[in-house]
Amino acid sequence: MPAMKTVHFYLVRHGQTRLNRLKRLQGVTNSRLTHKGREAARNLGTQLKDMDFEAVYTSDLKRTQDTANFILEKNRYAFDIQPLKGLREVDFGRLEEMKNKKLIPLLVKKFGFFKVIKAVLGHNRFRDLVDMFAELEGTSQAETYDSMTSRIIETLTDIGSQYQTRGGNILIVSHGLVLSSFIDSLEKNQLPIMLLKNASVSNVDFEKGKFKVVKINQKG
């Protein structure tokens, strides 16, 4: 059996979108990148321009693919970007595109002020918030925390396993909540209260079937 080498994941949250700017809940609904989002992706691309990537994966949502293309403008990467449904954001069901200022009162009404505050600030904030959204949505269309984290861990494990005999750098462009929850599942409370920043990069290594967080939330 060949020796297993380290796979270096560069996990990037997509650039700012119109729905991000409007402070609306954005999951599987797509929204175009803003000028700020495009420029932030280009700036990150400048930082990564000399990086040799073995592969580039995005979710199947266009905002991640656009972000990846802007990042790669100055890079020598010559292969196709590979979109995967497993890298998409959590599905918020009928709550998609709801304004934050409307969503928060609904959460407080259903769960109570103190439970919502605990969810935002607590040790299990990503789990609690995602599951609150799913319960509030009420149709079973919205994804639960366990479903989301199982999906992203399985997807990244599959990718890492494909490259572990030769190792190398893999660029992943995905989404704020799914990437934040993935990193939080590896190292509890290493993230800020808010999600990973738009167009930020976090480094996670994969070796012998295990993930290790290296850096979090670095800006380009």
3-state secondary structure of 173: strand
Tell me the C-alpha distance between 94 and 136, whole Å. 10
Residue of 14, 137, 143, 175 marked catalytic: 14
**Binding residue per annotation — 19?**
yes
**Binding residue per annotation — 14?**
yes
CB 107 within 8 A of CB 136: yes
Tell me the C-alpha distance between 32 and 19, whole Å. 8
Burial of 214 (0-12, 13-18, 19+ CB in 10 A): exposed
Q: Going by C-beta distance under 8 Å and a sequence separation of 6 or more, which residues neighbour residue 33?
A: 14, 15, 16, 17, 18, 41, 63, 66, 67, 70
**Binding residue per annotation — 17?**
yes
Closest to 95 in 3D by CA, of 2, 146, 28: 28
Tell me the C-alpha distance between 59 and 134, whole Å. 21
Does 89 qualify as catalytic in the annotation? yes
Residue of 89, 137, 143, 175 marked catalytic: 89
Does 14 qualify as catalytic in the annotation? yes
**Binding residue per annotation — 175?**
no
CB 17 within 8 A of CB 173: no
**Binding residue per annotation — 63?**
yes
Binding-site members are 13-20, 63
Binding-site members for substrate are 13-20, 63
Report the catalytic residues. 14, 89
